[in-house]
Every structure is written in structure tokens, then in C-alpha cells.
Amino acid sequence: MFDGNKKEELKKTEEFGAEILKMCVRFGGALTGEHGVGIEKRELMCEMFNDNDIQQQLRLKNLLNKNC
């Protein structure tokens, strides 16, 4: 538990969460579940995907969103 109104506690909690996600990837897991990446996990995508993978995902996203 932490107090999200205290900047230092929030920062430590976010850092701890990021370390847990990195460990998940190292052991063959994923950053996401059924809800997708979201703002909180966006910066961690490079832990799971290389630059080429991310660029391909962005191209597909842009192609699909072009008609929205």
C-alpha cells in the first residue's frame, strides 16, 4: 500500500512496478493482459520488443486508425 498523493511514495511504487514487469518479460511473460499496454506500460515496450517490432506495430496501428 502507498499514498499516491506523496510524490516520493508514488515514484517508488511506479519504479517497483516497472521492475516487476521487466522480470516478467525476462521469465518469458508479457507486459500486458487482455487490456493492452496503456500509458503506464508504454515506456516498457522496449523490454519486450525490439525497434523493428515496435515500428511494425505502429505502422499497423496507423493503417487501421487511418479510416477512423
Answer yes or no: is 59 within a domain.
Answer: yes
Q: Cell for 65?
A: 486508425
Higher pLDDT, 4 or 68: 4
pLDDT at 49: 93
Answer yes or no: is 54 within a domain.
Answer: yes
Q: How many domains does the chain have?
A: 1
pLDDT, tens digit (0-9, with 9 covering 90-100), for 1-49: 889 999 999 999 999 999 999 999 999 999 887 777 888 888 899 999 9
Please state, in angstroms and rounded to a whole number, the distance separating the CA atoms of residues 21 and 47: 9
pLDDT at 37: 81
Query: Running DSSP on this structure, what letter comes out for residue 57?
Result: H
Q: What share of the chain is helix, strand, coil (3-state, %, to 5)?
A: 65, 0, 35
Record the pTM.
Answer: 0.72
How does residue 68 score in pLDDT terms, banded at 50, 70 and 90?
Answer: low
Answer yes or no: is 12 within a domain.
Answer: yes
Answer yes or no: is 32 within a domain.
Answer: yes
Domain coverage including residue 11:
7-65
Q: Cell for 66?
A: 487511418
